[in-house]
Amino acid sequence: MIPELGHLALWIALGISAVLGTLPMLGAARNRRDWMALARPSARWIFALVALAFVCLAISFIDNDFSVLYVASNSNRSLPLHYRFTAVWGGHEGSILLWLLMLTFWTFAVATFSRHLPEKVVARILSVMGWLAFGFLLFLLMTSNPFDRLLPVPADGRDLNPLLQDPGMVIHPPMLYMGYVGLSVAFSFAVAALIGGNLDATWARWTRPWTVAAWIFLTIGIALGSGWAYYELGWGGWWFWDPVENASFMPWLVATALIHSLAVTEKRNSFKSWTVLLAIMGFSLSLLGTFLVRSGVLSSVHAFATDPRRGLFILAFLVIVIGSSLALFAWRAPTVGLGARFALLSRESLLLGNNVLLVVACGAVLLGTLYPLALDALGLGKISVGPPYFDTVFVPLLTPLIFLMGVGPLARWKETTLPDLATRLKWAAGAAIVAAFLTAWLHGGVGIVGVVGLLMAFWIIASLLTDLVERLRPVGGMRSNVLHRARLIPRATVGMMVAHLGVAIFIFGVTLVKTGEVERDVKMGVGDTTEIDGKTFTFRGVRDVTGPNYRGAQGLIVVTQGDKTIATLHPEKRFFPVTQATMTEASIDSGLTRDLYVSLGEPVGGGAWIVRVYLKPFVDWIWGGCLVMALGGLIAATDRRYRIRARQTADAAAAAGATA
């Protein structure tokens, strides 16, 4: 009964989303208050129903109800309870259901935290989100119903892909989907504003916290995925330029551009058309990512063997959404107006540079990701574009971006002068150069590329400090203490500084890993040693281990430095009988300045194994940097300014929506 209940809930949700997609929109056009009033309750009902369906599927998994095809394909009696729950999104159908759950959650959030918005605007926004929900519900029900029954009922399920049996998998997909789908809010705000013709600074202020919230989730989701690849795939890489990674990275690049462009639109009323276009592009890329991942056109861990109808459906949906929103944009954008003027050198023009670079970077990733697929689809042969392409392209594109990151926050709105900027930033530039060379000399062996990377990281930090010092310096004889002035810095600015610091940490980590990592594949018999950077790795052999749904071999490797044992590592090789899959579990000793990474290859007879022994300096800084970026986003999104203005303005309609 429970699967049928979930199935029914989805159908009802489909009906309500059709109502949400039409009536409030028409109501806004015809001034029918009763129709517009349907928007909020509909949004809440859809969320409740999709959540119910999700819970039903989760119960089927936890109860081992193998009469449900999806459960039988992705679970097993011996699978531990927590993985039976996360198996809900371990396959295609459940992933789409999770996608939908996130989408309806955001819709619900907009319905709840939009009391200060004019009724018409809310009606339009929720209507657009209703259409998106309708499309995805239809997709789920037509091509990927997770509640399909299986007859005869098998005694046991086929088990979850062992790669996904990992704590990282518990949070990576929900986080990433929250980010992906969160961009639908900015998209809906933009489309609603285009339809209503009220694109102005207020619109930008409403959109900002939502966009930043989506960006935070996207950042964390990507970082988690990267971290998972690092320790779970067992070969120590953290980014592969895999098309699926690119699919999540492209919306991130555009969302980052959007955040910066929204700032200009809010503060200066400029860039309006561009901002709207970015909002549309951001969500379109999310949809494109979904298409790439879910249509089975890619060979990747994320691509499940699927039937072609699914790919076709998402492709059609993609074309409709992108096509109609771009058509709307072409029709309405000319009425938007150009906004305030700015000089050739101003914060606006520097942010424009930021936007151009980010979008070009995104275009480069798009080309490398789609070109092989397009060529294949046209029957012109099979090609692939490897990491060297992306590496070659990204360094020259990001270098000027990082430079701008230092200059932009210090430049003045409207007009700034080169001598002024040069004077204010000369100490930062000098300090960055000294720090970079000093670090390179102390750390050793980083080469020219390493120095450039370090220079970028220290440039960001030094210019940040310059900005901070300027803000804390007393102005015009005012006698107030530093703490007081520190409190006057808007949270949005603090958030920006923290996020930029995160970028610096990230670059620092990437630079030192890229230039200093040692990767060695060695054949090791019992008692054999290998030495990296003064650390001796001794192989002490393997023993058999048994897990709940696997059996395997566990190696013992002791790492010593001088006379001291600094780490004892237990890498494993696991075999999952149900899926007939072998898995490598790396063993990592993490540290602030380095990771010791060991994983088992395969046995070569006589108790000897091929073993990967890696030294990864500062690798954890990569994900640490991402978390700091996300923290910056969190600080900025909770800026009280978005709420205070709501109270100060007499007209509640002009108020900013309470933040996400």
Partner 1 sequence: MKPRHKRLAIAAGVVVAVGAAAALVLNAFQSNLVFFYSPSQVAAHEAPSLRTFRIGGLVERGTVKRDGTRVSFIVTDTAKSIPVSYEGILPDLFKEGKGVVAQGKLEGGVFVAREVLAKHDENYMPPEAAEALKRAQQGNPKLAESLATDTVKKQP
Among 320, 356, 374, 518, indicate the residue that binds partner 1 (CB under 8 A): 356
Enclosing H/E stretch for 587:
strand 587-589
Closest residue by Cα to residue 601 from 610, 588, 614, 589: 610
**Applying CB under 8 A, which part among 48-56, 388-396, 434-442, 635-643 lies near partner 1?**
388-396
Among 82, 309, 341, 543, indicate the residue that binds partner 1 (CB under 8 A): 341
Is-contact 536 566, C-beta < 8 A? Answer: no
- 547-606 positions binding partner 1, by CB under 8 A: 575, 577, 579-584, 601-604
Please say which residue, 459 or 550, places its beta carbon nearer to partner 1.
Answer: 550
**Applying CB under 8 A, which part among 18-26, 204-212, 390-398, 477-485 lies near partner 1?**
390-398
* Min dist. Cβ of residue 194 to partner 1 (A): 24
Contact between 353 and partner 1 by CB under 8 A: the answer reads yes
Contact between 379 and partner 1 by CB under 8 A: the answer reads no
**Applying CB under 8 A, which part among 199-207, 393-401, 482-490, 636-644 lies near partner 1?**
393-401
* Min dist. Cβ of residue 61 to partner 1 (A): 19
CA–CA separation, 356 and 36 (whole Å): 38
Q: Output the CA–CA distances (angstroms, integers) from residue 470 to 378, 434, 465, 467, 600, in the order listed.
A: 57, 21, 8, 5, 53
Contact between 340 and partner 1 by CB under 8 A: the answer reads no
> How many alpha carbons fall within 13 Å on the CB side of residue 96?
32
**Is the bond preceding residue 387 a cis peptide, omega within 30 degrees?**
no
* Min dist. Cβ of residue 577 to partner 1 (A): 8
Contact between 404 and partner 1 by CB under 8 A: the answer reads no
Among 63, 82, 167, 299, indicate the residue that binds partner 1 (CB under 8 A): 299
- With 0-12 / 13-18 / 19 or more C-beta atoms within 10 angstroms meaning exposed / middle / buried, residue 331 is exposed
Residue showing tokens 């590329």 = 449
Among 37, 52, 201, 301, indicate the residue that binds partner 1 (CB under 8 A): 301
CA–CA separation, 619 and 269 (whole Å): 41
Among 85, 113, 235, 413, indicate the residue that binds partner 1 (CB under 8 A): 235
Among 152, 197, 334, 388, indicate the residue that binds partner 1 (CB under 8 A): 388
Contact between 386 and partner 1 by CB under 8 A: the answer reads yes
> How do 581-585 and 594-605 pair as beta strands?
unpaired
Q: Output the CA–CA distances (angstroms, integers) from residue 87 to 8, 155, 157, 248, 309, in the order listed.
A: 22, 18, 12, 21, 24
Please say which residue, 80 or 386, places its beta carbon nearer to partner 1.
Answer: 386
CA–CA separation, 462 and 456 (whole Å): 10
Please say which residue, 399 or 638, places its beta carbon nearer to partner 1.
Answer: 399
* Min dist. Cβ of residue 564 to partner 1 (A): 29
**Applying CB under 8 A, which part among 136-144, 320-328, 365-373, 529-537 lies near partner 1?**
365-373
CA–CA separation, 570 and 584 (whole Å): 11
Phi then psi dihedrals of residue 608, to 5 deg: -90, 150
**Applying CB under 8 A, which part among 109-117, 315-323, 345-353, 490-498 lies near partner 1?**
345-353
Among 166, 200, 376, 528, indicate the residue that binds partner 1 (CB under 8 A): 376
Please say which residue, 531 or 602, places its beta carbon nearer to partner 1.
Answer: 602
* Min dist. Cβ of residue 298 to partner 1 (A): 8
Closest residue by Cα to residue 659 from 50, 222, 275, 216: 216
Among 62, 141, 201, 393, indicate the residue that binds partner 1 (CB under 8 A): 393
Please say which residue, 305 or 650, places its beta carbon nearer to partner 1.
Answer: 305
Chain-centre distance for alpha carbon 18: 29
Contact between 363 and partner 1 by CB under 8 A: the answer reads yes
Is-contact 351 243, C-beta < 8 A? Answer: no
Chain-centre distance for alpha carbon 161: 23
How many residues touch partner 1 under the rule CB under 8 A: the total is 55
Is-contact 91 74, C-beta < 8 A? Answer: yes
Q: Where are the beta strands (DSSP E) in 89-210?
A: none
**Applying CB under 8 A, which part among 112-120, 337-345, 427-435, 502-510 lies near partner 1?**
337-345
Closest residue by Cα to residue 392 from 460, 444, 449: 449
- Cβ atoms within 10 Å, residue 52: 17
Contact between 305 and partner 1 by CB under 8 A: the answer reads yes
What DSSP string runs through 299-365? -STT-----HHHHHHHHHHHHHHHHHHHHHHHHHGGGT---S---SSSHHHHHHHHHHHHHHHHHHH
Please say which residue, 371 or 441, places its beta carbon nearer to partner 1.
Answer: 371
- Cβ atoms within 10 Å, residue 387: 13
Contact between 384 and partner 1 by CB under 8 A: the answer reads yes
Residues at the contact surface with partner 1, assessed by CB under 8 A: 161, 163, 234-235, 297, 299-301, 303-305, 341, 343-344, 349, 352-353, 356-357, 360, 363-364, 367-368, 371, 376, 381-386, 388-389, 392-393, 396-397, 521-523, 575, 577, 579-584, 601-604, 610, 612
